[in-house]
């Protein structure tokens, strides 16, 4: 009986004893330095949200006792992430983390929720008329000019530049509208070509076939030429050619044929440009980013805090604001108020 009581008292370990336990569950040394180091490690885990879902404490009988899991962190801050130079943004709610830990959390969201950044789309499409237009005005003087004529010519040049500057937004509007029309046109042609190409493929289920059966790779090579032109034009107009090679397209087509996917499922990587991890160039084992912040990275997030993440030409600006405190009051509605009267007049049609 005495041994059972001792074992039972050993198993009853509250959450307050967690700082006195190591990560493996054993009790720390009674020395002051050991306890102080464990407290520092414990507070670092609380700050960075690295506590395990459950703590196991070994008993004298060798059976682990599972403590209650800690309470999950509640949202404390509102985080807005803006990508430069295209200006795409996302908003999230986040708990109390350190700045460095929050930066890693933002990057995880970026690679799984942001669209693929295409630097080739940042250039405004230029029409043929704009290409033919001269960038500057040139004047040729044959007989010579006096001061008054030279002043009038300078005024004319300034007026011409002002008119071109005022009409630039109209040109931009029509160019973007024309670009969207071309993309929709190429997309419709691509979907039609893919559907027609997939109709020529039929899976063989152990029945005699009129020709030699093909494996998925051979079938992809046989079907791809019928829709290669439409796909090439669509990738060209959407500036996706550097991201997709012929080998990767054939490999993806063979994978779709192997699993009996529909034509639109095959076109999904080319029609949908997100998330970032969908791009093969972004699937590297290590992604290097630079973190810039005015405060120490080990400090916790605070209201008004901001930091920046930079990788090559892409920059993520993160702004943190505290979520408001919500005061919700209960209001009782009288059931007698849920009655209505129909108002009729002479002009109402019944």
- Confidence check: pLDDT of 7 > 50: no
Q: Where are the alpha helices (DSSP H) in 12-146?
A: 32-48, 99-113, 128-132
Q: Tell me the pLDDT tens digit for each residue of 77-120.
A: 999 999 999 999 999 999 999 999 999 999 999 999 999 999 88
Question: Distance between the two ends of the chain, CA-based, in angstroms?
Answer: 88
Residue with tokens 């209001």: 331
Tokens found for residue 202: 């039929």
Task: Report yes or no on whether pTM surpasses 0.75.
Answer: no
Give the count of beta carbons closer than 10 Å to the beta carbon of residue 42.
16
70 band by pLDDT with thresholds 50, 70 and 90: very low
Peptide bond into 241 cis (omega under 30): no
List Cα–Cα distances, 44 to 52, 254, 267, in angstroms: 13, 49, 47
pLDDT at residue 69 in the model: 43
Beta-carbon contacts of 204 under 8 Å, excluding residues fewer than 6 positions away, are: 213
Which of helix, strand or coil describes residue 94? strand
Q: Tell me the pLDDT tens digit for each residue of 150-185.
A: 666 666 666 666 666 666 778 888 888 999 999 999
Q: Residue 227 in contact with residue 193, Cβ under 8 Å?
A: yes
pLDDT at residue 167 in the model: 65
| CA–CA distance, 41 with 2 (Å, rounded to integer) | 36
Q: Tell me the pLDDT tens digit for each residue of 222-273.
A: 999 999 999 999 999 999 999 999 999 999 999 999 999 999 999 999 999 9
Report the share of the chain in percent with pLDDT over 70: 65
Q: Residue 53 in contact with residue 33, Cβ under 8 Å?
A: no
**When comparing pLDDT for 210 and 310, which is higher?**
310
Tokens found for residue 88: 């795409």
Tokens found for residue 134: 């001269």
């Amino acid at each position: 009986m005495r041994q059972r009581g001792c074992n039972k008292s050993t198993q009853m370990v509250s959450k307050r004893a967690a700082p006195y336990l190591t990560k493996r569950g054993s009790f720390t040394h009674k020395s002051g330095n050991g306890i102080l180091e464990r407290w520092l490690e414990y507070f670092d885990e609380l700050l960075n949200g690295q506590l395990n879902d459950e703590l196991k404490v070994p008993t004298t009988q060798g059976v682990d006792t599972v403590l209650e899991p800690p309470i999950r962190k509640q949202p404390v801050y509102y985080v807005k992430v803006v990508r430069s130079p295209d200006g795409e943004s996302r908003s999230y709610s986040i708990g109390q983390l350190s700045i460095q830990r929050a930066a890693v959390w933002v990057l995880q969201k970026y690679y799984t929720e942001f669209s693929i950044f295409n630097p080739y789309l940042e250039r405004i499409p230029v029409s043929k008329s704009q290409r033919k237009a001269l960038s500057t005005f040139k004047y040729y003087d044959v007989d010579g000019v006096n001061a008054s004529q030279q002043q009038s010519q300078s005024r004319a040049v300034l007026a011409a530049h002002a008119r071109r500057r005022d009409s630039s937004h109209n040109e931009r509007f029509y160019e973007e509208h024309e670009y969207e029309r071309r993309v929709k046109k190429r997309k419709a042609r691509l979907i039609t070509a893919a559907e027609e190409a997939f109709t020529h493929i039929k899976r063989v289920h152990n029945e005699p076939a009129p020709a030699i059966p093909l494996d998925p790779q051979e079938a992809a090579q046989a079907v791809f030429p019928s829709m290669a032109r439409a796909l090439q034009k669509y990738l060209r107009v959407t500036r996706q050619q550097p991201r997709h090679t012929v080998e990767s397209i054939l490999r993806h087509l063979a994978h779709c044929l192997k699993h009996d996917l529909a034509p639109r499922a095959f076109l999904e990587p080319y029609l949908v440009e997100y998330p970032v991890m969908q791009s093969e160039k972004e699937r590297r084992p290590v992604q290097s980013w630079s973190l810039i912040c005015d405060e120490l990275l080990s400090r916790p997030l605070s209201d008004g805090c901001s930091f920046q993440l930079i990788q090559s030409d892409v920059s993520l600006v993160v702004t943190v604001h505290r979520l408001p405190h919500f005061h919700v009051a209960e209001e009782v509605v009288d059931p007698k108020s849920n009655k209505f009267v129909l108002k009729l007049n002479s002009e109402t049609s019944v």
